[in-house]
Amino acid sequence: MAYQNLLIDHSDGIATITINRPKSLNALSTATVAELNLAVEGVDGDREVKALILTGAGYKAFVAGADISEMTRMGTPAALTFSELGHRLCDALEALPIPTIAAVNGFALGGGCELAMACDLVYASENAQFGQPEVNLAVIPGFGGTSRLARRVGPHKARELIFTGDRIDAKTAAALGLALAVLPSDGLMAHCRAVAQKIAAKGPLAVSQAKKVIAAGSDLPLQAANALERQAFAALFGSLDQKEGMAAFLEKRPAHFQGR
């Protein structure tokens, strides 16, 4: 389908979704969030896609936040609908069976920070800034920031960032575990694509199961989490990919995975 606020690219098993509203620093309007939900749904239904990169158009912003000009007109019912739409998007990103990579090029504030945190891997440009500044507008994060930020950086630091609305730079974000690495702006996408290509060459069923077990196990006691791992590990031995991967290793050749 044709999108008004997104650019979509598929190549070599990698999907790239670019939020394309550079004049508004890629702010998340209701229409943009709705389009993102549709785009993620499309990726979920495409078996050829092995990894997803999410980014923003230009060098200034990944997503500078929600569209404030639209939010000023919202009352409580409309705000709840908008929040539910954003939560659905972030939940859908987390639920994708493939790894997701946020290429944070510039501002990742408010909804932008929440969107990045819903991705599996986050890489930042040198000019990136992260933050949940909603209290400056007398509201709080609405797309899952209160819970995801605490899980990323710990409850203590999350409280400080949310209560003060302070921004942090890319190096600080990396030190806190909010980003994995800091790259030059002109090298960010190449790095993210290289990571995506490396992932896309692995056994897709195994990568998918690893993502699922890590996500489910992180909120479980260790013994219960390890039980999930054992089940997933054993189940993969019933796949054609496992037979191919181990045969290729023994035969000293590249593996050719089918996702079966």
Instruction: Supply the pLDDT for residue 81.
Output: 96
With pLDDT > 90 as the criterion, what percentage of the chain qualifies? 95
pLDDT digit string, tens, across residues 45-63: 888 999 999 999 999 999 9
How many helical (H) and strand (E) elements, i.e. helices and strands, does the chain have? 11, 10
Cα→Cα distances 172→134, 152, 166, 175, 182, Å: 20, 13, 12, 5, 10
Q: What is the pLDDT of residue 107?
A: 97
44 within 8 A of 92, measured Cβ to Cβ: yes
| pLDDT (tens digit per residue) in 103-117 | 999 999 999 999 999
Q: What is the rounded distance in angstroms from the CA atom of residue 185 to the CA atom of residue 189?
A: 8
pLDDT of residue 18: 97
Active site residues: 114, 134
Per residue in 240-252, pLDDT tens?
Answer: 999 999 999 999 9
The C-alpha R_g of the chain, in whole angstroms, comes to 19
CATH of domain 204-250: 1.10.12
Structure tokens at 251: 């035969």
- What pLDDT score does 45 carry? 83
Q: Is 101 helix (H, G, I), strand (E, B) or coil?
A: strand
Angle between helix axes 204-217 and 240-250 (nearest 10 degrees) is 110
Can you give the pLDDT at residue 104? 98
Parse the chain into domains and list their residue ranges. Answer: 6-200, 204-250
Best CATH choice for the domain 6-200 from the list 3.60.10.10, 3.90.226.10, 3.40.50.150, 3.40.50.300:
3.90.226.10
112 Cβ neighbours under 8 A, 6+ residues apart: 26, 28, 56, 61, 62, 63, 64, 65, 104
pLDDT tens, position by position, 155-201:
999 999 999 999 999 999 999 999 999 999 999 999 999 999 999 99
Tell me what pLDDT residue 205 has: 95
| Structure confidence at residue 2 (pLDDT) | 85
Assess whether pLDDT exceeds 80 at residue 1: no
Q: What is the mean pLDDT of the chain?
A: 95
